[in-house]
Structures are given as structure tokens and as C-alpha cells.
A and B are shown apart, each in its own frame.
Chain A
Amino acid sequence: MSDASARKDTPAQAEFRAYCRDWLAANKPGEPPVRLPQTPLEIMTTEQLDYLQAWQKAAYDAGLVGCDYPEAVGGGGRKDCQRVANEEMLAARTPFFPNVIGLGMAAPTVFYHAQEAVKAELLPRLFSGEDIWCQGFSEPGAGSDLASVQTFAEKRGDRWVINGHKVWTSLAHFAEWMIILLRTDKSHKYDGLSYFVVPIRAALGNGVTVRPLIKITGETGFNEVIFDNLEVDDRYRLDELGKGWQVAMTTLLHERGAGELQTPRSGGMKNRSSHNITTSAVIELARQTRRGAGAAADDPLLRDKLMRQLIREEGLKQNQRRSRVQALLDHPMRLPLQNKLLASEIAQSIASLAVEVEGMASSLYMGDSNAPAGGQWPLSYMNSYGMTIAAGTSEVQRNILGERVLGLPKSK
């Protein structure tokens, strides 16, 4: 993969790629001392976090994180180089970065909407992973209808006082900072929203309470966060008062992989618990799984299902390739806005198929010594619903595609 892309590099990219490759060859971290979760959103222990934070810091210090951001905010000041670093990191099979919400959502939002001084204050420690970030959007009463959030910020002098309740807040248990969508005016739904960054860790027990919520899988990773008269400085407001919805769109666009700035991405490391959710992994599983006298991979119905998956997977890959071929595109957002929907649904159906291939053995879960692949496939299958629900459910994605791309009337 990185070789195919290398052929299209500019001279600057080619030089940077060679640098990344050399650095990774010498500095890729060794095996983790602890079992790692499947994704950063299920980091549960400080041992896991320490290992992953050390990796992100090393990668940042080496210039592989935030490459396309200006130097003044702690970036690398390069042009279109994050993609190169990502490709090299994936090819080198590095561990993932722990500060995913920071890198993927907070960084572009802060970059496009915060005061210069705040960017310089926050972004370097965000890129290095020293500060973990979380996203406080959802509330008990505001999920898909995000603009109905009620957590309120009231102005007192040049400070704001925050009261309310956020839920499903991934990584809040480790986070220093939160990007947060708040209501500053109860009489207007959209124009009554404002966007802030708030230091939550510093205020634990003093205006902020973080309580873990347990997932369908038995793992933790997300939380509820309660604000009780938390005070924040006005300089941590992003953009103007009442423009919170527009700022949130920057966050959501990047969250769904359709934003301007490439998110620093690392991953691919094989270890006891992370496994690749790919059709080829399921094909391998089907080869090794007995069905009657033969292998599951000989069953014609299963073969058909496997090939359906392979085709969808290749289709998504080719969509991404085609999205850079101007002459083969119609509406500019047509392919980018499909990314999140397809990636999450394809992963779900791949995991579902793996569970089907395992048959009765898929009843055995993590911790059971007879569980094939350590019980990872049932875990992946359950976790896949996190992907089709979080970051805008699949149904909401279809609304967006129908309305923004096909121009159909709004459902709300």
C-alpha cells in the first residue's frame, strides 16, 4: 500500500516518506506489556494508557503527528504529509494513538475556531498525547438530535458557569480536556448553542464528576460527566457566542472522515487482542473451521457471503481511490459522506460473518480457554454496534446523504 502511493509523491513528500520509514524502522515500539483493547475507545487501565501515550509522544517528537499543522501551533509546517506519515505507520504496523478524539476532532476544531493564543497553548500537548481529549456532545435527552443539548453555560463576569449532564463520553476518565457543545440561550434551538473547550481533569471533584458506564461487551471506555457549577474562562469559547452549531459541524465533518485536515493515524500492530476486521481474516477462519467432512470455506452459501463481503470491502477501497479522480465524480460530497456509513456497516457484517463461520464456538467469549481466537470475533461483533451508533447513527448518515447529496426534503 505505501509503495503504490509513494509513486505519486511530490519531492517533499518522498523525502518525508523516506525519513518516516527510517525512523519507524529504528523506533517502532516493542510488544506491549499488557493486553491492549481493540480500539483506543476501550482503553481501561493506566498501564495500557502509559504504553500508548509513550508511543504517541515519541511519534510526535519525531514529527509524524500534526505534520500539516503550522509550526506556531506545534505542528510540522508541512504540506499534505500527514497522509504519508499515516501510510508509513500503518505499513510498519505501529500501535494506535490513544488521543484519537483529540487528533481527529478536537485538533481541527480548535485550529479553525480558537484564538491564536489558545491554539498555541493546547495543540502541542494534544499532538504529543500528553493531554487526552474527549468530546462532550451527547446528553441523556440529546443524541441524534444533537442540537437539543441542554447543558447550560451562564455568563458571570468574564467567566462562564456550566451545569448539566453529558453521556457516552469516551475517554473522559483519562481526559484533561473536553470539547463541549453548550446551550447559552434557551430561546433558540440552533442559534442558542455555543462551543467551548473545558479542562475537566483539573476540576475533578470540584465542578466535574466522571462516572464510567459499562458497555455491551463488559468493557468500560465511555462515561457520564456531570457539571456542577464548573467555571471556565471566556477565552476557551470557540468562535462567537451562538455559533456553536457551526463549530460542531467542523468537528462532525472530521469525525466522519470528510474534513479538510488529515487525521494522524497509527495502527496495524498485531497483538494478542487486536485483530484485523477484514474479509481475508474471515476467509482464513473459514479455511480452518470444520463443517461436516470438510472446511467451512467449501460451503457454497458461505463462499457467496464471503465474496459479497470482499466485494463491498474492495468497493469502499475503490471509492476512496475514485474520490481523488475528479473526472469520475459528480457531487463533491457524495463519496466522502458515505465513508463512515460504509466503513462501520462493512465492519459489522464482516464480524457478523466471522461469528457465523465459528458456529457454536462463537458462544465462547474472552477468558474462556476454548474460545477460538480468544473470543475476539464475538467481541468485535458486539463492538461494531458502537461504530454504527456513535458519530451519527447509520440512519442519521442516510438522512444526511439523502438530504445533502440527493437533495431530498429534510426529515426533521
Chain B
Amino acid sequence: MTQPNNYGFGEEAALLKDSARKFFREHFPTDRLHALVAADPTPGRAPTCQWDEALWAQLVELGWTVLAVPEEAGGVGMPVAAVAGLVEEVGRAAFPCPLLGTLNATYVLVACGEAGAVGLADIAAGKAATLALTDRHGAWDPAATEVEYRDGGLYGTAWFVQDAGKCERLLVCASTGAGYGLFWVDAHAAGVTAEADGIVDLTRDQAHIVFDGASGIEVSGNAVSALHQAMPAIWTLVAADMVGAGEWQLQTTVEYVSTRKQFDRPLGFFQAIKHPLVEVMVQIDEAKSLVYNAACACDSEPEKAAQYAHMAKASASDMAAYASSRSVQSHGGIGFTWECYVHLYFKRQKHSQMLWGDGVWHRARLADIVIGTAA
């Protein structure tokens, strides 16, 4: 299959992206974010999950959580390219919400085939979900799972579960004896305990989740194949989030260096400031172009989706690191404070950079595809 020239990013996708941007500009400017998530700077404070549930409810009402759900399952069935446009705007606003988790769960459930319908129905009904796949070392390969399904119950711990405090459903990977399965679990059911992690990123929450005999619906008996199919979209969307956040970092830093003067000149006059910011822009554009290419591959060239998604996530991870570094450094002392908004994005980007594989990991996998595995 081949890709359409415009990434399949049509009029509806453009409208969605545009309206998301306006929505956040109006309802969730960065000072709102800061007031919401950065009230308590104390290191070692108890982990909390700060978010605007009322605003989230509006987004659910607008149908954003069901965009990726196929039409026959009660959703909108929008292409990944369109969804990436929306996620880019969520990243730009650094809006704390379980959208990414819900979308990720959606793509895995779709990959589960018919048995995934029960999960998709919950999502179509407005329930937020997240993936609980990862071991304590950050691996999400099913063989690494620390959760076991036996005697009709789940036992063990899933680590690094994103936005767990905001979700009602979990998609859990567990070993079954016969292999590895995926289970649809009520996050508030008996035998499920979410232990919130104390994390650097203030715009998300994260938990490790302890299962002690919790019941779950098996939506796939072949987690390896379902994840294999769904991961490219998952990598692409976190990269889209980073691209949006990178644009915020670039724009606000450009504004700052255009107004702040030293040595009788705006800082942006100096090439030691100007050229790195151009480099940030160049890296954002590379990552962004690769994100839409990967998204479009998920939609219309699935045999290339993994290859292109590795490129997008590797590019976005490196860009996020660089954009974060330049945004703090170019602000000088004020950029080193809790009061300045720059740190919110610095921290979100650091988190995203590692999430579902950093640049080195994705390039290694890309090399396996393009060059072949090393002898």
C-alpha cells in the first residue's frame, strides 16, 4: 500500500486540530496549568493527581476520546494522522488528562480483534483507560511482565502506568501459562491497588499497580501480536505530544529572548542564542514531518508503520531533550525557578523522552529493520 500525499490529513483533521488549539488557548492557558499543578513545590511531597476534571468532561463530551474507536464499535474511526493532530495540541497545552492512555488502549483493543469489543464499548461510553504493561525496568515486552493470571485472578505488579489516577479501566498484560494475554480490568475493582509514584513531571500522574487476585476480562490470548500491531500508533502519538510541547518551548523562548535585553540588545540578537533556537525549530520540523509520515503509515501503509514510527519517536525524543535544554538555558536565572512556566514543559518532555523507548532504543530497533539484526 502507498500513502496519500497529504498524509490523509484532510479537512476534518484540520478542523479538529484547529478547534483543539482554540479550546486550550481559551480554557487552559499556561497560567491555569501552573496554578493547577505547581501549587506545592516541596520535594518529597505526597504524590498527587492534579487535573481539571470538569474540562476533561467537556472533551469527552466533544467526543475526543472516541475518535480512534472504529465506527462499528460506536466511535468516529478517525485516521491516526487526524488523532496525531489533536495530540499535538494536547502536548502544546501540556494538558493533564488521560487522553493519550485512552487512545493507546484503543489501538491495542482494536488490535485484539473481536474480543477487544468489550473494552472499546467502555471507551465509547466515555471511560478513560491506560496501559499497564511495563516491568520495573521499563520494558513492555510481554515476556517481561511481572503480572500473572492464574486461578481466574491477576497477581503481581505493573509499573510506570501513565495517568493511572485519572483512569477507570486498565489494559493489563499478564503471563497465562499458555503465553501472554491482555486483560481488561476495572481500575477500582477489588484486588487492584494503585500506588501513586512521586514523579518529576507535574503534568501527568503515574503509578505502579499491584494486583492481588483482581478479576479481568481476557481480550487477547496473544499479547505479543496485539502489541506488535498497536505500538507504532502509540510511539507516533507520544511523539506528536512532544512536537506540540516543543512548539510551546520554542515560541515562549523566542518571545523571551526578543524582549529581555542585555548588553543593550535583545538576547535574540546574539547568535549563541539565535542559532540554537533555529536548531530547535529545525528539529521540531523534522520530528513533526516524521510524525505525520508515521501516522499516515499506520493508516495506509501498515507494513512500514513500525519503521516510520521508530523514526518519529527517535527524532522527537532527541528534539525534546534539546528544546528543553535550550528553553531553560536561554531564560537564564528565571528559567531555573519554579515560578517560571518553562519547567513544566521541561519535565513533561523529559518524561515523554523516555516513555515507550528513548532515541537510542528506537534507532536500535530501526537498524534491525533497515540493516538487519547484527551478526
Chain A residues with CB under 8 A of B278: 398, 401-402, 406
Q: Can you report 9 A-B residue pairs in the complex whose CB atoms are below 8 A from each other?
A: A7-B5, A298-B374, A300-B364, A314-B311, A322-B289, A328-B288, A334-B285, A401-B281, A406-B254
Q: What's the Cα separation between A71 and B6 when bound, in Å?
A: 32
A325 contacts across to B, CB distance below 8 A: 5-7, 9, 292
Q: A283-B370, A327-B14, A395-B275 are in contact. Are A322 and B292 (CB under 8 A)?
A: yes
How many angstroms from the CA of A341 to the CA of B366 in the assembled complex? 26
Residues of B within 8 Å of A312, CB to CB, are 286
What 8 new A-B contacts, CB under 8 Å, besides A298-B374, A318-B290?
A299-B374, A314-B308, A318-B289, A318-B292, A319-B285, A328-B288, A401-B282, A411-B274
Within the complex, the shortest CB–CB distance from B276 to chain A, in Å, comes to 9
With A304-B360, A310-B370 as known contacts, state yes or no: A402 contacts B275, CB within 8 Å.
Answer: yes
Q: Is B337 an interface residue when CB atoms closer than 8 A count as contact?
A: no
Question: Are B367 and A303 touching (Cβ within 8 A)?
Answer: yes
Q: Does A409 lie within 8 Å of B271, measured CB to CB? A: no
Q: Which residue of A lies closest to B13 (CB)?
A: A327
Judge if B257 is at the interface, Cβ distance under 8 Å. Answer: yes
Q: Is A26 an interface residue (CB 8 A)?
A: no
Determine the interface band of chain A, counting residues with CB < 8 A from chain B.
35 or more
Query: For B257, what are the chain A residues with a Cβ–Cβ distance below 8 Å?
Result: 408
- A303: which of B290, B314, B371 is its contact (CB, 8 Å)? B371
B266 interface residue (CB < 8 Å to A): yes
Question: Which one, B258, B274, B292, contacts A399 given CB within 8 A?
Answer: B274
Task: Given A319-B285, A328-B9, answer yes or no on A307-B367 (Cβ-Cβ < 8 Å).
Answer: yes
B277 beta carbon closer than 8 Å to chain A? yes
**A-chain residues with CB within 8 Å of residue B5 when the two chains form the complex:** 4-5, 7-8, 321, 324-325
Q: Report how far A310 CA is from B369 CA in the complex, Å.
A: 12
B6-37, CB < 8 A from A = 6-7, 9, 13-14, 17
**6 tightest A-B contacts by CB?**
A318-B289, A315-B286, A327-B14, A408-B268, A307-B363, A298-B374
Partner of A318, one of B9, B274, B275, B293: B293
B40 nearest CB across to chain A (Å): 35
Residues of B within 8 A of A (CB): 2-3, 5-7, 9, 13-14, 17, 85, 250, 254, 257-258, 265-266, 268-269, 271, 274-275, 277-279, 281-282, 285-290, 292-293, 308, 311, 314-315, 360, 363-364, 366-367, 370-372, 374-375
Residues of A within 8 A of B366 (CB): 307, 310-311
Does B288 lie within 8 Å of A322, measured CB to CB? yes
Return the CB mask of A296-339 against B: 1 if under 8 Å, else 0.
01111001101110111011101101101101100000110010
With both chains docked as a complex, state the minimum distance between the C-beta of A166 and any C-beta of chain B, in angstroms.
28
With A310-B366, A409-B268 as given contacts, are A283 and B281 in contact (CB-CB < 8 Å)? no
Question: Any chain B CB within 8 A of the CB of A243?
Answer: no
Chain A contacts to B: CB under 8 angstroms: 4-5, 7-8, 283, 286-287, 294-295, 297-300, 303-304, 306-308, 310-312, 314-316, 318-319, 321-322, 324-325, 327-328, 334-335, 338, 341-342, 395, 398-399, 401-403, 405-411
A300 touches B374 (CB 8 A): yes
Among B3, B250, B275, max chain A CB count under 10 A is at: B275
Given A334-B281, A411-B269, A304-B6 contact (CB < 8 Å): no
Q: How many angstroms between the C-alpha atoms of A272 and B275 in the bound complex? A: 39
B371/A306 in contact, CB under 8 A: yes
- For A408, give its contact among B14, B254, B360 (CB under 8 Å): B254
B57 CB, nearest partner CB in chain A, Å? 28
Nearest Cβ in chain B — how far from A284, in angstroms?
10
Min CB distance B353 to A, Å, is: 15
Cross-chain contact B271 with A283 (CB below 8 angstroms): no
Complex interface: chain A residues within 8 A of B274 (CB): 398-399, 402-403, 406, 408, 411
Residues of A close to B269: CB separation below 8 A: 408-411
Taking CB atoms, residues of chain B closer than 8 Å to A314 are 290, 293, 308, 311
Residues of A within 8 A of B375 (CB): 294-295, 298
Contacts of B315 in A (CB 8 A): 311, 315
